[in-house]
Amino acid sequence: MTIDDGVMGETWSSLIPPGRPIPDDSTAVHGITNEMAAQAPPAAASAAELRRRCADRTLVFHNATFDLPFIEIFLRDAAAPELWNPVVDTLGLARGLSGDGSRSLVALAVRFGLTPETSHRAPATRARPRACSSCSPRPGSGSETPGRSPSWRR
């Protein structure tokens, strides 16, 4: 989802063919079935579209150090350009701002009075960006997360 000047805009998501059957216990977590994955576009097409949509935007993740290595491999395997975008990690923000307890997206949504989403599943509803925007730094405020997306490698 894009957010420009605090206004939520266009959304996009795509499944990626996993190249092997999806185990039933995985489907129980994220709800993605083998039939759904079979309808997904080729991974290279999704990688190119993801890279195009990211452009030079600031990227927001919840646990960026987990997600970014997968995205890097995904883009590299599709011969798409690397991401060198600024990154905000909402897990780090939650650790500093939300007090004790779980910092999962579901737990944070409940804590902030938002409707929880299905775990590990895109597309995001508009609850996640609202939660992120309520505690994310404003550009120029001096509290942005330093570095670029491959910072997990440092």
Q: Would residue 38 be called left, alpha or beta, if left means φ above 0 and alpha means ψ between -120 and 50 degrees? A: alpha
Considering the entire predicted model, what is its pTM?
0.67
If you ran DSSP here, which 8-state letter would residue 125 be given? Answer: -
Q: What are phi and psi of 8, to 5 degrees?
A: -75, 135
Domain positions in the chain are 21-153
For position 4, what pLDDT does the model report? 84
Taking a C-beta distance cutoff of 8 angstroms, is the pair 88, 145 a contact?
A: yes
If you ran DSSP here, which 8-state letter would residue 29 be given? Answer: H
21-153, what's its fold?
Answer: Nucleotidyltransferase; domain 5 (3.30.420)
Q: 54-69, pLDDT tens digit by residue? A: 999 999 999 999 999 9
Taking a C-beta distance cutoff of 8 angstroms, is the pair 65, 150 a contact?
A: no
